[in-house]
Amino acid sequence: MNTRSSELAAFASGLALDAIPPAVVRKAEDLFVDWFGSALAGKGAHPVEAIAGFACAMGPSPGAGQGGAELLVRRRSSSPYFAAMANAAASHLAEQDDVHNGSVFHPATIVFPVVLALAQARGATGRQLLAAAVAGYEVGIRVGEFLGRSHYKVFHTTGTAGTLAAAAAAGNLLGLDAARMQHAFGSAGTQSAGLWEFLRTGADSKQLHTAHAAAAGLMAACLAQEGFTGAADILEGAQGMAAGMSSDADPSRLNDRLGVRWATAETSFKYHASCRHTHPAADALLQVTQTHGLKPGDIERVVTHVHQGAIDVLGPVTRPATVHQSKFSMGTVLALVARFQHAGLQEFEAHYLDEATRALRDRVTMELDPEVDAAYPRRWIGKVTVHTRDGRVLQGRVDEPKGDPGNSLSREEITAKALRLAAFSGGASSAEMQAAVERLWRIAEWPRVGRLLPGSDDDRAG
């Protein structure tokens, strides 16, 4: 029987690069370079190193059938399963990985670890990698949209819809037919997981969400290749994902204009190194401070006018105790923006607990705004009201935060961002990054996908 799930599976199975518009292919290249910087930025962070250490301990030993997939933060090869797991954890640490507004889903941190690992292990071409990545983006975004706002209130969509994105990307690269792709969806969906409760105590679970989603989706596709069956209707079924995880699921989103509407091209880059829910207000505050020449000392208090999703995710974080937790504090982000005009990795690392940051942080509040909430998640509007110490009340508004498709990053900005991320963590030298990024911009020309960075078994891409 033809269903929305089977139609989505058939689309993901049969997608080839020639069927993808050139502008969408170019966007996929942009997203890959952007992801690469985020993956290296996770090096050295405790949650990332814990998962990478687990992957190294449980994966193949060096020199004993390593598997050919690159574990970026360890500069060694592993099996595709464990390399995807570690790279997915690493690329979600710095809070600089991409996001799709309408699905509230971070595709890159799931999709690119999977397609890179499988492509390296199988010797696939750059064109095959890009097509598989777009398949993963298109499926994951639609599943996120399908699950709706009620899902995101409790579940981290990147960990849940991400398993389907990983399965679609892996299944495309493995050449699964439509029927086996649907089985891969079933096995991926039954493993979907990720709860927001970790934010209340600043736990490390966010890295586990992405690591698990990438590895579980890859496993689901590999099992389907071997004839392993999964639920035929894992998304809409009576005991499927929507039944257990959503109260406002919209099945029409699953097959919304497949092959006509390219959700990949709708994906946004992240400018500030913080939760995306803070970005609209941060940019609106920047607008006010720059227009009126305000200094941090001029600000009495700031009211941010936000959607309910921002309150749900950011509301529990009132006194951030770690750098990562501070990235989910609206007050901390806006305080850093007011002080430094950007909430980047360096600003968080050096100043998130400064007395000046904490003082302004505690004068920032969030209020539900009907206009902003009605537009979300399709549009993420930024609105702030700034009360100054001399009695002025100033309004700021941004309809497209920096990084959105209508206010995107140029390739020069993407390159500079990737270099900054790698330099921050020491994940790669400047020379290594310059060489790697130069090759990555030509990914469609690669006859086979090899190593991106020098390592113990140096076999570079291109």
Tell me: the pLDDT tens digits for 247-278? 999 999 999 999 999 999 999 999 999 999 99
Q: For residue 271, is it within any domain?
A: no
Residues of the chain with confidence (pLDDT) below 70: 62-66, 456-462
The total domain count for the chain is 2
Q: For residue 82, is it within any domain?
A: yes
Decide: 72 and 87 in contact? Cβ < 8 Å: yes
Q: For residue 435, is it within any domain?
A: no
Whether the bond between 377 and the residue before it is cis, its omega within 30 degrees of 0, is: yes
Q: Which residue has the tokens 């100043």?
A: 351
> Which pLDDT belongs to residue 458?
47
Gap between the Cα atoms of 420 and 278, Å rounded: 21
> Which pLDDT belongs to residue 404?
96
Of 220, 92, 204, 112, whose CA–CA distance to 157 is shortest?
Answer: 92
DSSP 195: B
- Give the DSSP H/E element, type plus range, for residue 306: strand 299-306
> Which pLDDT belongs to residue 63?
55
E runs forming strands in 61-170 = 69-71, 76-78
> Which pLDDT belongs to residue 459?
46
Tens of pLDDT, residues 413-446: 999 999 999 999 999 999 999 999 999 999 999 9
- 398, with CB counted inside 10 A (0-12, 13-18, 19+), is buried
Q: For residue 445, is it within any domain?
A: no
- Both 281 and 203 in one domain: the answer is no
Q: Domain holding 342: CATH number?
A: 3.30.1330.120
Tell me the residue range of the domain where 385 lies: 276-402
- Both 223 and 286 in one domain: the answer is no
Q: For residue 169, is it within any domain?
A: yes
> Which pLDDT belongs to residue 9?
98
Q: For residue 144, is it within any domain?
A: yes
Q: For residue 462, is it within any domain?
A: no
CB atoms inside a 10 Å sphere around CB 323:
18
CB atoms inside a 10 Å sphere around CB 393:
10
Of 68, 141, 72, 53, whose CA–CA distance to 113 is shortest?
Answer: 72
Gap between the Cα atoms of 462 and 453, Å rounded: 12
Of 165, 145, 140, whose CA–CA distance to 376 is shortest?
Answer: 145
Backbone dihedral angles phi then psi of residue 24, each to the nearest 5 degrees: -75, -40
